[in-house]
Amino acid sequence: MELVFATNNKHKIREISELLDNNIRILGLADLNITEDIPEEADTLEENAIFKARYVHERTGMNVFADDTGLEVECLDGAPGVYSARYAGKSKSFDDNIEKLLREMQGATDRRARFRTVIALVLDGAEYLFEGTVEGEIISERRGSGGFGYDPVFLASGFDKTFAEIPLAEKNTISHRARAMQKLLEFLKERANL
Ligand code: IMP
């Protein structure tokens, strides 16, 4: 089976390809010569993921999935959420986003937060959603140099190291994205056995 992952992120494509059996081949947007940025302008992760998957399905007719992720902070009523990538502004860096987050949370005692990934799949014309979350908290100073995004300030529950301090391979076993991917894979494997 060939399945499109509606992303240009080579790391994400490699990550999921490694988890898959040989009978499913993952293609990225670059393999389909889709070079434009697919808009992510909806107000929920679900809508963004579905929009991206449909966008590629409508252009190619292929089976496709897309993901969208947000950091949801309890004391900020779920912000930055779907706006995580552009929290401090459209062309701002990961560091600017962390800066804004720490500013908004200054003095907060309830620092609970979760990463949430939603994957939308269009398979044989039907649509499916999968979700993966990891619970944790936002610490008040950056720690570690690995990972990306909000990793230096995110401490997963039960861990004393941030996502930027633990090895990538370990992060990839417990992360929101890994959990959502795992659900997608289980679904695909069941379908393949039908
Ligand atoms: P995307 O939907 O995967 O592009 O993620 C949107 C934004 O969420 C990214 O730009 C990051 O700011 C944040 N994010 C997503 N995944 C992670 C992660 O694993 N660690 C830290 N930040 C993340």
Structure tokens at 94: 């990961």
**151 CB near ligand 1 (under 6 Å):** yes
* Mean pLDDT of all residues belonging to the chain: 94
**7 CB near ligand 1 (under 6 Å):** no
Q: What pLDDT was estimated at residue 48?
A: 98
Residues 130 and 74: their CA atoms lie apart, in Å, by 22
Q: Rounded to the nearest whole angstrom, what is the distance from the C-alpha of residue 192 to the centroid of ligand 1?
A: 30
Residue 22, pLDDT > 80, answer no
Choose between 8 and 118: higher pLDDT: 118
Choose between 120 and 22: higher pLDDT: 120
Residues whose CB is less than 8 angstroms from the CB of residue 53 and which lie 6 or more positions away in sequence, other chains included: 6, 64, 65, 66, 120, 121, 122, 127
- Whether the CB-CB separation of 79 and 73 falls below 8 Å is answered with yes
Kindly give the number of the ligand 1 atom that is closest to the alpha carbon of 45: 2
Residues whose CB is less than 8 angstroms from the CB of residue 15 and which lie 6 or more positions away in sequence, other chains included: 172, 177, 178, 181
Q: What pLDDT was estimated at residue 141?
A: 97
Choose between 73 and 194: higher pLDDT: 73
pLDDT level of residue 194 (50, 70, 90 thresholds): low
pLDDT level of residue 1 (50, 70, 90 thresholds): confident
Residue having the nearest C-alpha atom to atom 3 of ligand 1: 69
The predicted model scores a pTM of 0.95
* CATH number of the domain bearing residue 88: 3.90.950.10
Residue having the nearest C-alpha atom to atom 10 of ligand 1: 85
- Whether the CB-CB separation of 147 and 164 falls below 8 Å is answered with yes
**146 CB near ligand 1 (under 6 Å):** no
What pLDDT, in 10s, does the model give residues 160-190?
999 999 998 899 899 999 999 999 999 998 8
**80 CB near ligand 1 (under 6 Å):** no
Residue 4, pLDDT > 80, answer yes
Query: Among 69, 138, 170, 171, which residue has the most ligand 1 atoms within 8 Å of its CB, making it the best to mutate?
Result: 69
Count: domains in the chain: 1
Q: What pLDDT was estimated at residue 23?
A: 80
Q: What pLDDT was estimated at residue 20?
A: 77
**What's the average model confidence in pLDDT over 22-35?**
90
Residue having the nearest C-alpha atom to atom 16 of ligand 1: 69
Residues 136 and 139: their CA atoms lie apart, in Å, by 10
Helix, coil or strand: residue 185: helix
Residue having the nearest C-alpha atom to atom 17 of ligand 1: 149
Beta bridge partners of 115: 71, 134
Annotation marks residue 68 as catalytic: yes
Kindly give the number of the ligand 1 atom that is closest to the alpha carbon of 147: 20
Q: Which domain holds residue 184?
A: 2-192
